[in-house]
Amino acid sequence: MLKVSCNVLNDQIQALAQCSFLGRPVAGPTFTPLRNPVVSCRHLYKPRVLAVLSDRGGVGSGSGVVGADLGMVRLPGSGSGSLADRLRLGSLTEDGLSYKERFIVRCYEVGINKTATVETIANLLQEVGCNHAQSVGYSTDGFATTPTMRKLNLIWVTARMHIEIYKYPAWSDVVEIETWCQGDGRIGTRRDWIVKDYATGRVIGRATSKWVMMNQETRRLQKVSDDVREEYLVYCPRELRLAIPEENSSSLRKIPKLEDPAQSSKVGLVPRRADLDMNQHVNNVTYIGWVLESMPQEVIDSHELQTITLDYRRECQHDDIVDSLTTMEPLEDAKAVSELQGTNGSAVVKENIEDSRQFLHLLRLSGDGLEINRGRTEWRKKPAR
């Protein structure tokens, strides 16, 4: 998401249009070069990244790609929608049944491997999911609730998250993420994502998640009513579309409970204020960091995370104290070769089973040992750099 100062907004947008990452000038609106550009163009990209911006209204209002054919930047004050809407590099797809957005990986989103961290990837998935919900007129309070859900104090909560990363983007890489949601039986819904390297079009990651409905006041789960289903299914693909084909997929594998004694642990983890989300509970992405805190250092040094699956079983409050437990899981049942092919794109990951590692994880409350989260991670040997 472009972060631009409102005081020099017009000048900055014109300067951005001169940067190579927006592509060569094309027919259409022209921009006058600035004497003292305020935007640095040092990082040049070969691919053309169009500033695709959306005007988003309420449910049923039109929404689409603005200036996609011309590669133009929409200036503030033109059209409807908020300033953020007009600057955001994302929009609904042509059929209105999915949403795509592009992001530039920033320096503070890169970790020890000089690539984006898994937490960065998870945060981007969360961001594009929320932007998708807002683009079709759902609430802007972060819960992506429909009108009926708001009347009944209902919210969505994550039940399972599964992320596969085939190649980590580096600092200044541009990634494009597509997301869509679908019904998932009577008790919930699912959201899927496909992550691409925008320069090459190559699929570098996929993710899928399952969500259930909860009463915000009683904290009890609730079935999805027909009224709610009708409100959101209108924005979902008519036929089942899966980012990760489910046949032989690790995204569906059951995660057994990890029992003591664990091979490695990190105890006494405490949520920071910055870890709390808009409903005063620990953000989903924070759990990923806690899981990784108990990973053996020798594995962190020699391997990189390939797949992570988390089952969310209990909410974590701001004053809870958490223990993270990790134990290596045998690889007898793991597939050495994973192939993902289909209409959603394709990606092939081949790993030598001798270089792979697989672990089970458990997050629990320190006091009474109640489960917060179960997890499984798969790791591959770090590529030579």
pLDDT band, residue 108 (cuts 50/70/90): very high
Three-state DSSP class for 25?
coil
Residue 65 has pLDDT above 60, yes or no: no
Residue limits of CATH 3.10.129.10 in the chain:
93-244, 260-385
pTM of the model: 0.75
User: Phi/psi zone of residue 12: left (φ > 0), alpha (ψ -120 to 50 degrees), beta?
Assistant: alpha
Q: What is the model's pLDDT at position 55?
A: 38
Sign of CA dihedral 85, 115, 360, 294: negative
Given a cut of 80, whether residue 48 has pLDDT beyond it is no
Query: For residue 347, is pLDDT > 50?
Result: no
What distance in Å separates the CA atoms of residue 87 and residue 84, rounded to the nearest whole number?
A: 5
> At residue 210, does pLDDT exceed 60?
yes
Class of domain 260-385: alpha beta
Active site residues: 279, 281, 316
Mean pLDDT for 315-321 is: 91
Lowest mean pLDDT among 9-13, 79-83, 202-206, 248-252: 9-13
pLDDT at position 353: 63
CATH of domain 93-244: 3.10.129.10
What pLDDT shows up at residue 357? 93
Give the C-alpha separation, 139 to 145, whole Å.
6
More confident residue, 158 or 51: 158
The pLDDT tens digits of the residues spanning 145-158 come to: 888 888 888 888 89
| pLDDT mean across residues, the chain | 78
Q: Is the pLDDT of residue 332 over 90?
A: no
Res 128 pLDDT > 60: yes
Q: What dihedral angle (degrees, nearest 10) is formed by the CA atoms of 192, 196, 202, 206? A: -30
